[in-house]
Amino acid sequence: MKPKTKALLALVISFTLGVASGVLLTRLIWKPVFFMKHQDFWKEVREKLELTKDQQDRIDSLLCSSKRVIDEHKKAIIQVKDSVKKEIDKILTDKQRDALEQLLKELPTPKK
């Protein structure tokens, strides 16, 4: 295999692994903790830890502010991801680009 082909393959694999790890990270950590879509989870945490009202308020405030920070960075991350994808598309042939699109479609997506 030519060095150029190896480099391209490594780039595509790295990109795909990055997407997959991002999906996994979102599913396992960010969704339940920072986006607070799992109100039942936080209700259970409050009860099991026997949080005081002050502790609950302070934790809620931290979670809300962390969500804002994540949302701000999320836009930048999407822009970088899109930029990298465009650069990769310039390198690939039409057939390779189609194959990559299909692979990306097959990746699991986070539940909302």
Mean pLDDT to the nearest integer, 102-111: 72
pLDDT tier at 94, thresholds 50, 70, 90: very high
Q: Token pair 């996994």 is at which residue?
A: 24
Please state the pTM of the whole predicted model: 0.41
Helix (H, G, I), strand (E, B) or coil at 38: coil
Residue 52 token pair = 């005081």
